[in-house]
A = this chain, B = another copy of it.
């Protein structure tokens, strides 16, 4: 219904959402040449409690050594494998406005196993322009991207008004995972995974807490 349609016999959603954080912390340790960590140390560098970390890792298997800790390299590999990052995931970005360009140029995915293989826009004036190493392609190429059975993740960076339209085209082309940066809800068939990133929502959540700081008990008030 909403976002994640419950995984049958898999890793709990809350845990999956934290695994990338552990992975990043482990990469930091690898870079520092650290070979082994305790749950306490790894938890601190990931910003969680050690009990939560251990529970999370216990869902992947028993990869620690009692009395010692976790082997950094091995744990890193196991988390990668659990997340499906032993393969590289090609990604297509739709919508080459400010945000789309920023995402396309941002080097942040590549090291994590994601490669932007195509950038598209429906505006003929934008098609053909260079963005980073790529040339903007028209929407018509979408179906060809999924042909090898490879590209499966689409990123919607189009304006809200056309996000449902883009989502429909992604689904029709055979994409099964969508990361949506456009505000608002998009509806897709059950078998398609959608995740949403929304700036305005995040700011509004911060505003709520910020406001509570200054006017504490403004809960029950004259309702008009």
Chain A residues in the interface with B (C-beta under 8 A) = 1-2, 4, 7, 9-11, 16-17, 19-21, 23-25, 28, 45-49, 61, 63, 74, 78, 82-85, 87, 89, 91, 98-99, 101-103, 105-106, 108-109, 112-114, 152-153, 176-179, 183-185, 187, 191, 193, 195, 197-213, 217, 219-220, 223-224
Whole-angstrom distance between the alpha carbons of A209 and B82 in the complex?
Answer: 10
A99 CA / B12 CA spacing, docked (Å): 31
Whether B84 lies near A208 (C-beta < 8 A) is yes
Whether A210 contacts B177 by the Cβ 8 Å rule is yes
Which of B2, B152, B204 sits near A83, CB closer than 8 Å?
B204
- The 14 sampled A-B contact pairs (Cβ below 8 Å) are A9-B219, A21-B185, A83-B204, A89-B203, A98-B106, A99-B102, A108-B183, A108-B200, A176-B213, A178-B206, A193-B206, A193-B210, A195-B205, A197-B202
Identical copies in the complex: 2
Query: Which residue on chain B has the smallest CB distance to residue A224?
Result: B74
Separation in Å of the A82 CB from the closest CB of chain B?
Answer: 7
- Chain B residues whose CB sits within 8 angstroms of the CB of A207 once the complex forms: 83-85, 89, 113-114, 153, 177
A195 CB contact (under 8 Å) in B17, B195, B206: B206
Q: Are B47 and A201 in contact (CB under 8 A)?
A: no
Give the complex CA separation of A98 and B105 in angstroms.
7
Chain B residues with Cβ under 8 A from A1's Cβ?
A: 48-49
A142 to chain B, nearest CB (A): 17
Residues of B close to A202: CB separation below 8 A: 179, 195, 197
